[in-house]
Each structure stands twice: as structure tokens, then as C-alpha cells.
Amino acid sequence: MKKVEMPKMGDSMEEGRILRWIKKEGEEVKKGEMLAEVETDKVNIEIEAFAGGVLRKILVPEGNSAPVGAEIALIGAPGEPLPDYLGANGAEAGSQRQGSLASPTQSSPLQTQSAQPYKVDLLARSSVGLSPEPTSGTTTIKRQDRIFISPLARRLADENHLDYATLQGTGPNGRIIKMDIEAALSQQQSAVSPLVEPVTPLIAPQVFPPVSAAIDSGEVIEIPLTTMRRAIARRLSQSMQTAPHFYVTSVIDTDKLAAFRQQINEYAANDPAPVKVSFNDLIVKAVAKALVRMPQVNISFAEDRLLQKKQVHIGIAVAVEQGLIVPVLRNADQRGILDIARETQRLAEATREGKLRPEEFSGGTFTVSNLGMYDVDSFTAVINPPESAILAVGSITPTPVVVDGQVVVRNRMKVTLSSDHRAIDGVTAARFLQEVKRLLEEPFGLVL
């Protein structure tokens, strides 16, 4: 035999009055069905059966009150005997019980407040009970996993109206952190306005290996994309798909350049701020000078027009774990060689430390990519949009050459210029490369 008790309908409720028994004694009751209507101090509500069976006994007749928790009815099997305490005349005993318990309770002002919302809750619950609930599987509720995001990252995303749900977090446990938001924002910016200066970087400088677990599914290991990898993929595909690349290669004799470099370094070692100049610094200097002389290479293709840049900002591709970043040496044409060397070293360091400021990896007008240190004879590079050209520099290698009819060994390097044919023609590219070659083979031109 299951007891039905006067329910507590709100914190302040102490007793309730039965307005109406919806079920009659002897009637079958299903779990969840409405049993009776009860009046509390402020609201009238229906109460449901928490057990199924037959309503065997009503202990509190209509119109009578009972305190919260008091038995008001019994539900059981049809033949189940009633408890002894009810005796032959259960209703009488029950009414005695309720009579002794039902004392008027003082209502406090708070009850008004607490009772009202409770009614709403209860009705909502009863409607669920009445309409059959869809069985699981018939509806496709997309389960939204909790997104791990740092408080700071969430705030930044919210402030910039960025939906971070699709971002791949690169923090511990795959947590989305500030860097991820910044990277996403810089991508978003470039996607929205690709032609607006300053040009957005190839990719944001924040790089680090994905912490989210790689999935080993037998033959392949699935590695989730980092933000950086995603950016590289998107930007460079866009470049190859939209910019018709063509390539011009030249071989540059570097013996004089090497001697020149040695002289500079002897000088620079005794400079108040000593610095070591690399071949790449000299190449950057040469490119910058060549761009000043041939501004038609310092250019962007902008669909309905060409944008020729007045400033020469050279991007220098720097490899980092998981990708590459192109910090920008601003106003390279106006810098002396030592200055270029210093600034380049600083940028490279900042790049590896992930500390580039936005203006330090955006706004480039031409890029130099040097794989010489990796024993690469030559290679072609993908243009870094919206720039129109990129110079790929190979290793310096001793090469037998014929000079004045004699076979001699000279140090040479191959450089390959990739150009966007929409903006630059073959002859322009060739002449530009020729100018670079001239400057590197007669390096005094770099300082004159």
C-alpha cells in the first residue's frame, strides 16, 4: 500500500486543502496521473500520483485540509488489505486524523511570492506528463559538448562577436586560449577585407603543437589542424588558385658577396652594438634596392586595379614548429645593412618566442624565403598574398664554371622568383631578378 502525502508546494506552504478528488476510490490510477486538486494559501494546483495502482482510500475528504506530509490517500492493489489503523470505517478515522491536524496556519507575506512561481513549474511538469514524451532516438538532438575556453579567451571572443564553437583550442586539454582567438580574429579580418592595408599576415604568429590528441586509426594517424596549419592551408591554396604563378631562376656568383660580407662582419664585430650579418641580410638589402628601382614589382593585384606600394616592406619567412611565420622588415630600403641584420635577428627571435606584434607580421610587400641552410639547390615558393612576388633562395654551392676559358670553381646560389602574372610580366620579373643578381655580384652597389 502506497501512501499519498500532502505535498509541499513551495517553501512557505504548511498545509493544503483538498478542493476536488479527480480520482474516486476504487478507480485505477497510473503513475503521473492527476489525483486531486489542492488549494494552498494562494494557489490551486493539481497533484499527481507518484505510484500506480488503485486509489484504495481517500483519507482527507474534499473541502478538508491537511498539513504538508500528512497522508491524504492510499494507493494499492485491488485486493490488498487496508492498514489496521483505518479500522472498518477508514474514512471516519481519516477525517479524525485530518481534523486534529488541520489547524489554520499563519501566512507570511513571503508565501505570496514563493507560491506563485511554483504553480507555473507544476503546470509545466503536468503538461509533460500528459503528452507522451518522444522516445529517445526519434529526435536528433545535437549534443553540444562543453567547449573548454579560458575566461580571457571567452571574453575576447564575446567582445569581438566571434563564435568560438568551431575553433580548435591549442591550450592544455585543447582549451581555447587567447592566442586562438587572436589568430581567428586576424583570419576573419583578412577574409573580410583582403585588399585593405595593412595587409594581414600569412598567418598569425602564435604557433604551437596541437595538444588535442592525435587519433591513430590503423593506417593513418589523424592529426587535428592547428589554427596555424589551417591558416597556411587556406591562404596558400587561395594564392595558388587565384594568382597565376610563373617562375624565373637565376644563378648568382657569391664569391664577391662572401668577401664583402666578411669585411662587413669584421667591421660590425667592433661596432658599439656588435652584430653578425648573414647572406640573407644582404639578399634582403639587394631585393629592397631592386624594388626601389623597379616599383612595378612592389605591387598588389586588386581585381580592378593594381596597387603599387610606396614603401618597401620585406617579409622574411621564418620556420617555426608546425609551420611558418613571415615577420616583416619595414622600410627595408631605408635601412643600412647592419640595421637590417639587427632588426631581422630581433624579428626572428620574437617570432620564435611568439611575441610578434600584429604590425610586425603584416603589411609586407615582397617576401624572401631562404632554404639555403638546408642544403637546397633551388626551389619555388608560393606567393604570400596580396604580395605579387616572392624570392626563393637556395644554398650556396661550389660550382665548376668557365671563366675566360678556364674551368674554375666558384660559389654560386640559385634564386627563383615566383611572380603573380596578373600583376607582373615575364620581362619585368627577369629584369628584377637581373638587378638583384647585379647587386649581389657587385655588392658595393648595396652600400652606394
Partner 1 sequence: MRTMTYRDALREAIREEMLRDERVFIMGEDIAGYGGTYAVTKGLFEEFGEKRVRDTPLAEEVITGVAIGAALGGLRPILELMTINFSLLASDLLVNSAAKMRYMFGGQPAVPFVVRMPSGGGAQRAAQHSQLFETWYAHIPGLKVVMPATPYDVKGMLKSAVRDPDPVLFIEHELLYNIKGEVPDEGVEYTIPLNLGEVKRSGSDVTIITFSRMVHVSLQAAEDLAKEGIEAEVIDLRSIRPIDIDLLVDSVKKTNRVVIAEEGWKYYGTGQGLAALIYEHAFDYMDAPIQHVTGADVPMPYSKALERAAIPKKSDIVDAVKAIVPSALVRR
Binding site for partner 1 (CB under 8 A): 150-153, 155, 170-172, 175, 177-179, 205-209, 320-321, 349, 352-355
Q: Are strands 44-48 and 299-301 parallel, antiparallel or unpaired?
A: unpaired
Pick between residue 182 and residue 420 the one whose CB is nearest to partner 1. Answer: 182
The minimum distance between CB 231 and partner 1, in angstroms, equals: 14
CB atoms within 10 A of CB 396: 19
The minimum distance between CB 223 and partner 1, in angstroms, equals: 16
Which candidate, 47, 63, 43, 61, places its Cα nearest to that of 6? 47
The minimum distance between CB 170 and partner 1, in angstroms, equals: 7
Residue listed under C-alpha cell 592544455: 172
CA distance 186 to 200: 7
Q: Is 15 helix (H, G, I), strand (E, B) or coil?
A: strand
Pick between residue 226 and residue 300 the one whose CB is nearest to partner 1. Answer: 226
Pick between residue 321 and residue 359 the one whose CB is nearest to partner 1. Answer: 321
Pick between residue 160 and residue 242 the one whose CB is nearest to partner 1. Answer: 160
CA distance 350 to 10: 62
Which candidate, 389, 379, 381, places its Cα nearest to that of 414? 379
CA distance 171 to 150: 9
The minimum distance between CB 19 and partner 1, in angstroms, equals: 50
> In which region does residue 103 sit, left (phi positive, over 0), alpha (psi from -120 to 50) or beta (all else)?
beta
CA distance 394 to 35: 87
Q: Which of 161, 245, 313, 421 is catalytic?
A: 421
CB 326 within 8 A of CB 361: yes
Annotation says 245 is catalytic: no
Task: Give the helix/strand (H/E) hosting 348.
Answer: helix 337-352
Pick between residue 119 and residue 175 the one whose CB is nearest to partner 1. Answer: 175
CA distance 286 to 279: 11
The minimum distance between CB 382 and partner 1, in angstroms, equals: 23
The minimum distance between CB 278 and partner 1, in angstroms, equals: 19
Pick between residue 306 and residue 320 the one whose CB is nearest to partner 1. Answer: 320
Known catalytic residues are 421
